[in-house]
């Protein structure tokens, strides 16, 4: 992965934004951060850390990233934790909690926690704090998952550990539980310069559509998402078929094969059955997909859909909005934070609503263009990596001052 | 020659409070009991965040009342609050309470409505800091204004009144007191912030300065 400099972002976000980041960094001074999570590869958290850690270092914040070491059994348990914290009914045995704690204790003894700010990501290393009673630095728990309806048994086990932290950070108010510690909101963010989002040559975009045999003879409606029931790909096909009675178009469904999700095969079969032999419906399955090709599919589409019924944050919405595409999103999870209905895209609640939205956007191109432009601005304001850098700097500044005042004059 | 104008800017860290409202009674309870910084977040900051979307809702309360409860008349009244008229959050808070209570007296049924999606109460920590931009005269002020961040424009024109306690924006104050150009200061003061986004505001101020500079050339 290319390591980028903060200056590379000047052209994207504007020199004024980078200048102000530099000013804030100068107020933070020579402080240090240690990020701790459970993996260097795979998943959005690792992807984000790969990008943000070098940028924080460039700004003079000495930032290290360390990963906990654990056996497969631990990760099997924490995967179940992940699902249970997002509401899946599971009953845990005592030995599962014991395995989790033993692994955290072992790592707590091996890791140096000498940075000014320790940021623990997600539940896997959350109990590390338990073995750091006499810490003098600040500890933050950054939760990237939806904790609005956590499994009661698991939450009762984890909560006492979480409430030892100085603060917790969530992606949205709707994801956060009640806690006795301060909570902050950090929206997830996309990197405008990575392969998934950077500008592409029109000829490359064209070549990708040709490569996969998708004619660009009529408008293309695209959903890029795993074949997962909560992303409602079957509903997307149904909405497309209803819309096409009024406007000629193609549907493109693009999804990665999830190795750990046996259900995805079943959903894919359902999608294919719903599509039948319709020549205007193109279903692609990757294992894994290539970032620049996903970028090209988004840029070459006339409308992007993310018709989720249940959702995490769905940064695919921000990716599409960043490319100035008109987006139709299901009103679930973090999607309404990105799509302000009628201003930065269209929110839908049903197959019928999605169908109507497709017709509206394909037939009213001026409106579609305006939504795309507004969406781009909304992402620029809230969902770019530079905004996340700013949030980390402000977090460091606020922890220094113990929040005695709601307005802090930096001098 | 008067004093120089050094541009400041501001940034905010958003705090989740875990508190929410599903109806007007609960919303009123939140407004009455929340911190002044929460009110700031849902009014002044909301104005900032919606700036390029040109949403009709210039504050989060109006937005939720309209979209969550479909109480359009109340949303319009909340929307009509002119932030320029408030130099303290306490007064603004009082006005919000007054508008909602009056609406309840006129339309008691509105307090029985429940929203599917709650209003989430946020709080905020504000950071105000100096930038390296400094100007001494109108011409250099105009040129610098063109290049400062929108956060800086926003701070001086809208936010700073709650810090200074003045019913005025910093630009007009400086132009009047340091440059002794009261006419231009008045014209900038009269800009209606509810019809411009921050970029529009910046362009409007620059245009007023250009017109003034042109008129004084002859």
Interface predicted TM-score (ipTM): 0.90
Residues A136 and A157 in one domain: yes
Nearest CA-CA distance, residue B217 and chain A, Å: 31
Whether A195 is covered by a domain: the verdict is no
- pLDDT, residue B49, reads 63
- pLDDT, residue A260, reads 56
Query: B144 in contact with A at a CB cutoff of 8 Å?
Result: no
Nearest CA-CA distance, residue A397 and chain B, Å: 9
Residue A131's nearest CA partner among A151, A152, A105 is: A105
A interface mutation test: which of B9, B35, B129, B131 has the most A CBs within 10 A?
B129
**Residue A161 maps to which CATH number?**
3.40.50.2000
Q: What are phi and psi of A220, to 5 degrees?
A: -115, 130
Whether A27 is covered by a domain: the verdict is yes
The total of other beta-carbon atoms located within 10 Å of residue A283's CB is 16
Which positions in chain B touch A409 (Cβ < 8 Å)? 128-129
The total of other beta-carbon atoms located within 10 Å of residue A266's CB is 12
Pair A21, A60: CB distance under 8 Å: no
The pLDDT tens digits along chain B (218 residues) read 578 999 999 999 999 998 999 999 999 999 999 999 999 899 887 767 654 455 556 789 998 999 899 999 999 999 888 887 888 899 999 999 999 999 999 999 999 999 999 999 999 999 999 999 999 999 999 999 999 998 999 999 988 888 777 788 999 999 999 999 999 999 999 998 777 878 889 999 999 999 999 998 75
Query: A185 in contact with B at a CB cutoff of 8 Å?
Result: yes
Nearest CA-CA distance, residue B125 and chain A, Å: 5
Cα–Cα distances in Å, from A285 out to A152, A236, A290? 37, 16, 12
Contact A391 B127 (CB under 8 A): no
Q: What is the pLDDT of residues A170-224, one digit of tens each?
A: 999 988 888 899 999 999 999 999 999 999 999 999 999 999 999 999 999 999 9
Residues A362 and A391 in one domain: no
Integer Cα distance of A33 and A14 in angstroms: 27
Domain count, chain A: 2
Residues A13 and A156 in one domain: yes
Pair A33, A61: CB distance under 8 Å: yes
Residue A381's nearest CA partner among B198, B146, B147 is: B198
Whether A45 is covered by a domain: the verdict is yes
Pair A193, A4: CB distance under 8 Å: yes
Strand order in the sheet with A167-170: A62-67, A32-37, A117-121, A138-142, A167-170, A183-185, B5-21, B119-135, A407-409
Whether A1 is covered by a domain: the verdict is no
Contact A394 B11 (CB under 8 A): yes
Residues A227 and A208 in one domain: yes
Please check the confidence at residue A402 and state whether its pLDDT lies above 80. Answer: no
Facing residue for B125 by CB, picked from A343, A378, A408: A408
Q: Which domain range does residue A266 map to? A: 202-382
Integer Cα distance of B162 and B154 in angstroms: 12
Share of chain A above pLDDT 90, in %: 76
What length is written for chain B? 218
- pLDDT, residue A110, reads 96
Whether A408 is covered by a domain: the verdict is no
Query: B37 in contact with A at a CB cutoff of 8 Å?
Result: yes
Residues A142 and A225 in one domain: no
Contact B125 A411 (CB under 8 A): no
Q: What is the pLDDT of residues A313-341, one digit of tens each?
A: 889 999 999 999 999 999 988 998 899 88
Residues A125 and A208 in one domain: no
Range A56-71 average pLDDT: 95
Whether A249 is covered by a domain: the verdict is yes
Facing residue for A184 by CB, picked from B14, B55, B149: B14
Residues A160 and A214 in one domain: no
Whether A371 is covered by a domain: the verdict is yes
- pLDDT, residue A147, reads 86
Integer Cα distance of A173 and A181 in angstroms: 15
Query: Regarding predicted confidence, which is higher, B80 or A354?
Result: A354
Residues A340 and A392 in one domain: no
Which positions in chain A touch B149 (Cβ < 8 Å)? 14, 16-17, 19-20
Mean pLDDT lowest among A71-75, A142-146, A402-406: A402-406
- pLDDT, residue A226, reads 86
Structure tokens at A58: 């460039």
Nearest CA-CA distance, residue A11 and chain B, Å: 14
Strand order in the sheet with A346-348: A281-286, A250-256, A220-224, A303-306, A327-330, A346-348
Whether A197 is covered by a domain: the verdict is no
- pLDDT, residue A13, reads 92
Integer Cα distance of A390 and A381 in angstroms: 12
Residues A249 and A114 in one domain: no
Q: What is the pLDDT of residues A230-259, one digit of tens each?
A: 899 999 999 999 999 999 999 999 998 765
Pair A58, A385: CB distance under 8 Å: no
Nearest CA-CA distance, residue B183 and chain A, Å: 30
**B-chain residue closest to A410, CA distance:** B129
- pLDDT, residue B52, reads 47
Residues A378 and A302 in one domain: yes
Q: Mean pLDDT for chain A?
A: 92
Residues facing B5 on adjacent strands: B135
Strand A167-170 to A138-142 pairing: parallel
Interface of B with A in 70-109 (CB under 8 A): none
Residues A288 and A149 in one domain: no
Residue A219's nearest CA partner among A196, A241, A252, A197 is: A252
Query: B166 in contact with A at a CB cutoff of 8 Å?
Result: no
Integer Cα distance of A225 and A330 in angstroms: 13
Query: A13 in contact with B at a CB cutoff of 8 Å?
Result: no
Residues A17 and A36 in one domain: yes
- pLDDT, residue B116, reads 92
Which positions in chain B touch A19 (Cβ < 8 Å)? 131-132, 149
């Amino acid at each position: 992965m290319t390591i980028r400099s903060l200056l590379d972002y000047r052209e994207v976000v504007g020199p004024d934004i980078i200048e102000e980041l530099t000013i804030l960094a100068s107020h933070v001074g020579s402080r240090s951060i240690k990020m701790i999570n459970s993996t260097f590869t795979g998943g959005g958290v690792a992807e984000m850390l790969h990008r943000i850690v070098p940028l924080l270092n460039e700004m003079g914040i000495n930032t290290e990233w360390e990963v906990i070491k654990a056996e497969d059994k631990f990760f099997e348990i924490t995967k179940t934790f992940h699902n249970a914290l997002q509401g899946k009914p599971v009953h845990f045995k005592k030995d599962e909690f014991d395995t989790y704690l033993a692994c955290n204790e072992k790592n707590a003894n091996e890791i140096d926690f000498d940075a000014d700010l320790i940021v623990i990501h997600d539940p896997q290393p959350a109990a590390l704090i338990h073995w750091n009673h006499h810490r003098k630095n600040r500890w933050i728990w950054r939760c990237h998952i939806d904790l609005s309806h956590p499994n009661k048994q698991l939450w009762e086990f984890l909560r006492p550990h979480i409430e030892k932290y100085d603060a917790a950070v969530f992606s949205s108010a709707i994801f956060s539980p009640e806690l006795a510690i301060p909570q902050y909101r950090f929206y997830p963010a996309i990197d405008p310069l990575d392969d998934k989002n950077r500008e592409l040559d029109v000829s490359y975009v064209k070549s990708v559509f040709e490569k996969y045999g998708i004619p660009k003879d009529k408008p293309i409606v695209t959903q890029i998402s795993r074949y997962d029931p909560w992303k409602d790909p079957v509903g997307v096909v149904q909405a497309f078929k209803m819309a096409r009675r009024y406007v000629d178009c193609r549907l493109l469904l693009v999804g990665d094969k999830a190795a750990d999700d046996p259900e995805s095969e079943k959903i894919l079969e359902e999608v294919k059955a719903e599509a039948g032999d319709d020549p205007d419906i193109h279903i692609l399955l990757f294992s894994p997909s290539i970032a620049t090709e996903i970028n090209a599919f988004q840029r070459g589409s006339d409308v992007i859909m993310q018709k989720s019924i249940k959702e995490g944050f769905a940064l695919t919405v921000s990716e599409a909005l960043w490319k100035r595409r008109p987006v139709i999103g299901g009103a679930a999870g973090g999607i309404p934070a990105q799509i302000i209905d009628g201003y930065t895209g269209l929110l839908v609640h049903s197959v019928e609503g999605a169908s109507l939205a497709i017709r509206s956007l394909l037939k009213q191109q001026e409106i579609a263009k305006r939504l795309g432009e507004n969406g781009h601005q909304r992402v620029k304001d809230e969902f770019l990596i530079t905004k996340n850098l700013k949030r980390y700097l402000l977090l460091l500044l606020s922890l220094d001052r113990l929040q005695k005042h709601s307005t802090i004059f930096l001098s | 020659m008067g004093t120089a104008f050094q541009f400041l800017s501001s940034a905010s860290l958003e705090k989740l409070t875990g508190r929410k409202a599903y109806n007007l009674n609960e919303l009123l309870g939140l407004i009455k009991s929340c911190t002044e910084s929460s009110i700031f977040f849902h009014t002044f900051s909301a104005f900032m965040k919606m700036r390029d979307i040109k949403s009709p809702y210039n504050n989060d309360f109006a937005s939720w009342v309209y979209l969550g409860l479909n109480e359009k008349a109340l949303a319009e009244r909340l929307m009509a609050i002119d932030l320029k008229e408030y130099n303290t959050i306490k007064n603004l808070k009082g006005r919000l309470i007054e508008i909602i209570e009056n609406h309840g007296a006129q339309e008691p049924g509105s307090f029985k409505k429940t929203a599917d999606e709650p209003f989430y109460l946020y709080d905020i920590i504000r950071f105000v800091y100096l930038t390296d931009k400094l100007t001494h005269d109108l011409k250099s002020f105009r040129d610098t204004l063109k290049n400062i961040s929108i956060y800086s424009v926003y701070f001086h024109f809208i936010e700073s009144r709650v810090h200074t306690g003045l019913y005025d924006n910093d630009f007009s104050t400086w132009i009047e007191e340091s440059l002794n150009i009261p006419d231009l200061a008045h014209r900038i003061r009269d800009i209606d912030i509810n019809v411009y986004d921050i970029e529009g505001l910046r362009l409007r101020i620059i245009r007023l300065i250009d017109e003034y500079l042109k008129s004084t050339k002859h």
